[in-house]
Amino acid sequence: MSVRRRAHASQYAERVNWALGLLKESRVPAVLRALARRYQVSLRQARRYVDVAQQHPQGMAVPEPTTVFTVKLPIGLVRRVRARARATSTTLSALVARALEDWLERVRPGPRGGG
C-alpha cells in the first residue's frame, strides 16, 4: 500500500491553476487524464482540481512559503492575541501575519530604517 499525502497549499493552488490553463485548451476528460498523469493522482482527485478551477476562473493565488518565527511577548499580550484569534475563528499565525502586514503598510521607514 502506498502512502498518500495531501498537497501543500502552494501545490494545491499550482495544480488548480494548471488545470485552469488546460481547460482553456481541452475538454474536461483530457484535462483529468493529464492531471492524473502529471501529478500521479487519481482521476477522482483530478476531478476535484478541475471543479475548483472552474469555480475560480481568475485562478488561485499561490501562497508564499512560511517559516517559524519565534518572539518573546508579554503574557498579557499573548492572551489577548489568542483570545482575538479564537473570537474571530482564525489561526494565531493568520492573525499575527495580518497585523504585521497592516503595521508594515502604515510605517514609513526613516533614515535609520525605523518608524
For the segment 47-76, what is each residue's pLDDT rounded down to a tens digit?
999 999 999 999 999 988 889 999 999 999
pLDDT of 112 = 61
Cell numbers for 108, please give them: 514609513
Q: How far apart are CA 41 and CA 50, in angstroms?
A: 13
Contacting residues for 3 by C-beta, under 8 A, at least 6 apart: none
Domain ranges (residues) in the chain: 9-55, 66-115
Q: How far apart are CA 89 and CA 95, in angstroms?
A: 10
- Indicate the pLDDT class of residue 107, thresholds 50, 70 and 90: confident
Q: How far is CA 54 from CA 16, 40, 93, in A?
A: 9, 21, 29
Which one is predicted more confidently, 5 or 70? 70
pLDDT at 85 over 80: yes
Angle ∠(94,87,71) on CA atoms, nearest 5: 40
Q: How far apart are CA 99 and CA 97, in angstroms?
A: 5
pLDDT of 102 = 94
Cell numbers for 31, please give them: 484535462
